[in-house]
Structure 1
Amino acid sequence: MCDATQDAACYGALGGPVYLQLMRNTRGHKLSLYYNSAHVFKFKRTKSVFYEEFNTTSVLQRWQFVPDNGTMIINPAERRDAGTYRVQITESTGRGVKHTVQLTIEAPVSSVDLSISSSANGERSVRCSSTGDSPQYSWSLDGRPLGEADADLSSDNQTILLRGDVTGQLTCSVRNHVSSTHTTRLMDLCSGGISPVFISVWLAEIIILTSLLVGGYYLYIRNRTSHTPDQDVELTLTSTSRRRTPEEVQMQ
């Protein structure tokens, strides 16, 4: 229900009913409704009279004024129903009241979809799209609003660049003046990207393994060097204590 008893901006869903409350009490009052410069209808006592182009079957099937609560019902609403309406009321005391209503008809948002692409550094570009008029987008991660630490947002909030190490339930919510909807997707790390945390752990493991290998090799070389002189002594002793041949004895 749109309160059209004063100057107002009202919104209606395309294909759905629109309720414009033009006045709260019709008893003893006269009411006229204008669309742009055209006279739509006049109400006096208990009778409503539609004029000219509005006094057709196609319009009367969709338009209805309810005197009990002073409400104009348009069902189903069409694009051509949008525009500026002027309300003129003559009260039982003779006092005149005028106000303007701006009616906008919007197609409801629906069919929300997320498209995801991954970069080499693990960042993910996520685009939210939907049908409907004038959609407005917002994002949340695990039930909380998406922050700058999680992603970079485009100017229209339709596309985000998700950080490489961010995971969780990502929700895109879409709304306009007549409807709202959302979709949720579980975001994992990109298969083609590597998390900075993983890289740090991987490098640490390489450094530790390299240190162990270098230390082991150093101990091996030191132990081998410490045993080499004993072998040389044994060989020397063996060579000096060998038995002399008969030829060497005769020469003496």
Structure 2
Amino acid sequence: MKHFYVIITALAATALAQGSIECNFTEATGTQQCYGAVGQLLVFHLPNTADTDVRLKKDKKYMILKSYKNLIESLHEEYVNHSNQTELYTKGRLELGKATKKHSGDYMLHEYTIKGTLIRKVNVHVEIEAPVSKPAVSQMCSSEQINISCSSEGDGVEFRLTLDGNLLMQTRDNSQFLNSSRVNIQSLTRTRTTQDEPSLKHVTISLKGQLAGSLTCIVWNNVSKEETVIQLKICTVPSLQGPLFPVVSMAIKAIFLAVLLGSVLIILHNILTPGIEDVIENPEEFITTPMLE
């Protein structure tokens, strides 16, 4: 028989992070990384000179911006979704509007002199992710082990479980586990209505023995971090005071009553049934019939 102790927190969508995503194309050459959350304002900082030609392309095929002497020549309106196009590019600041997953990709900036000489080439990889939600944690007990589950919504969710500060498991960077544990990492799939809808993921871990303490599940990705703490309960072994006790007690009582009733019936039968000495009070009155010769 299994007993279940469920301690669960509500799995609610985390509010979008405030502020803006600032991606810099001015201070370095080579490849850079820029991370942000869905819904934040996406801003590119571009070279700000009056005598250069700037071209910004996404994934080697979408021309996002062409400017000449700080004047915009063309914009890709699918990616630059700001309502006021004339105020987008001021002093090298390009506002692309609210970030969506569509903005994720590799952006290459080329800056040329008026004569066409290449001055700068900068590549920035932009990654827009749905932030993680506050994790939901549950505990299920059996006679042999404790099963723990932690779930969260978001993109690229990573998990870390600890018990009283001791690491139980981690899904990134050389994951570590207790010798008595078994970890099963599973991604839940579901139908998405939009590209920006986050995925739901969960991990489960099975621990042997009777354990208790403060259990913490931490989830994170490149743009957010959340955690939930619960008190892990010791899994108790079923006793005679459990649900089986009334059934066993009634069965014992029934057997006892049956034996008692059988004994009473045997005694009454012996009392009410006459013996041979009671029937033959005067044996001499019996007539013996002689055997014919």
What is the TM-score with the length of structure 1 in the denominator?
0.62
What is the TM-score with the length of structure 2 in the denominator?
0.54
Q: Which residue of 1 aligns with 2:147?
A: 125
Q: Which residue of 2 aligns with 1:142?
A: 164
From 32, 35, 53, the equivalent of 1:8 is 32
Post-superposition CA distance 1:102-155 (Å, at most 9, x none): 22221111141012211212x211111111111011122223433515744335
Letter in 1 for 2:135: V
Matched, 1:20 2:65: no
Q: Which residue of 2 aligns with 1:38?
A: 62
Matched, 1:82 2:82: no
Residue 81 of structure 2 aligns to a residue in which SS?
Answer: helix
Distance in 1 between residues matched to 2:143 and 2:129, nearest whole Å: 41
Measure how far apart 1:41 and its partner are.
1.5
Post-superposition CA distance 1:156-207 (Å, at most 9, x none): 792222342322111111111111111111112023479xxxxxxxxxxxxx
Check whether the contact 1:62–1:74 (CA below 8 A) recurs between aligned residues.
no
Q: CA RMSD in A?
A: 3.2
Q: Which residue of 2 aligns with 1:168?
A: 213
Distance in 1 between residues matched to 2:233 and 2:154, nearest whole Å: 29
Distance in 2 between residues matched to 1:62 and 1:34, nearest whole Å: 21
Report the CA distance shift for 1:31/1:165 in structure 2 as closer, same or farther (over 3 A). Answer: same
Measure how far apart 1:80 and its partner are.
1.9
Report the CA distance shift for 1:92/1:50 in structure 2 as closer, same or farther (over 3 A). Answer: closer
Post-superposition CA distance 1:206-231 (Å, at most 9, x none): xxxxxxxxxxxxxxxxxxxxxxxxxx
Q: Which residue of 1 aligns with 2:132?
A: 109
Letter in 2 for 1:16: Q
Q: Tell me, which stretches of 5 or more residues in structure 1 are unaligned?
A: 195-252
Matched, 1:59 2:87: no
Measure how far apart 1:42 and its partner are.
2.0
Residue 98 of structure 2 aligns to a residue in which SS?
Answer: coil
Aligned residues: 189
Q: Which residue of 2 aligns with 1:188?
A: 233
Report the CA distance shift for 1:145/1:90 in structure 2 as closer, same or farther (over 3 A). Answer: same
Letter in 2 for 1:45: K
Q: Which residue of 1 aligns with 2:11?
A: none
Letter in 2 for 1:47: L
Post-superposition CA distance 1:62-109 (Å, at most 9, x none): 9875543x4433331112222232211125794432232222221111
Letter in 1 for 2:234: L
Distance in 2 between residues matched to 1:162 and 1:22, nearest whole Å: 53
Report the CA distance shift for 1:126/1:3 in structure 2 as closer, same or farther (over 3 A). Answer: farther
Distance in 2 between residues matched to 1:73 and 1:113, nearest whole Å: 36
Report the CA distance shift for 1:34/1:150 in structure 2 as closer, same or farther (over 3 A). Answer: same
Larger radius of gyration: 1
Check whether the contact 1:168–1:188 (CA below 8 A) recurs between aligned residues.
yes
Residue 80 of structure 1 aligns to a residue in which SS?
Answer: helix
Distance in 1 between residues matched to 2:213 and 2:142, nearest whole Å: 18
